[in-house]
Amino acid sequence: MPRRSRQCLPGIPQHIVQRGNNRQPCFVSDGDFAAYANWLHEGSTRYGVLIHAWVFMTNHVHLLATPLERGATAKMMQYLGRYYVRYFNHKHNRSGTLWEGRYRSSIIDASSYLLNCQRYIELNPVRAGMVSSPGAYRWSSYHSNGLGVHSKLLTPHEMYLQLGATEAERMANYQDLFQSHIEGQLLQDIRRGTHSGFLGTDKFRDEVEALTGESFSPKRRGPGKK
């Protein structure tokens, strides 16, 4: 079955996931995390991609980003991969691929799912049992979105800005969102979206299909064998 093409629509956010090859580490030291963040900032600035949330785990990365032009996300990821992989291989005396094939991405219905997807990303270290709260993990955008730490990498999404009239109000309301975990059907929907390429309502699906000419409707299963 041919792979679904990755959609990159201007102004529509995307949840991006990239994993280390064979789940091997793609970050070994704080210097590696910092180098990745630096090239992510350079690539996003160069190609016009707004970064709203991120978490850099030991063997994979989650990003929430909005491209300003068609194809901008792919160009950013290619730039990031080219420079970071070269750096990582040289520093750690290795060669060959670092990432597990193509990165995955899903376009996000911002009005219905963006903040939930952002929470999903920033709660990743908590779900992995690495920390007890998102603020305890250093390489996450929660420090900016929830605690007000300035980052040149971050551009808050409009849905985040609507949480309050002031920065203090927005942070307080954002922190309240983390009183509960992402679980159940919502957790399944977000994870399924990284494979299907789509996370949104039926109305949003219709709009995206009209724009792209590609179907994002769930595939029907054939009759089971007797």
Predicted confidence at residue 216, as pLDDT, reads 79
Predicted confidence at residue 219, as pLDDT, reads 54
pLDDT, mean over the chain: 92
Predicted confidence at residue 33, as pLDDT, reads 98
Predicted confidence at residue 220, as pLDDT, reads 46
Token readout for 175 is 């922190």
User: Which ranges of the chain have pLDDT less than 50?
Assistant: 1-2, 220-226
Q: Indicate the pTM of the whole model.
A: 0.91
Helices (H), the chain: 30-47, 72-91, 110-122, 124-127, 142-145, 158-161, 167-177, 184-196, 202-212
Predicted confidence at residue 2, as pLDDT, reads 46
The structural architecture, per CATH, of the domain 14-201 is 2-Layer Sandwich (3.30)
Predicted confidence at residue 214, as pLDDT, reads 79
Crossing angle (nearest 10°) for helices 110-122 and 184-196: 100
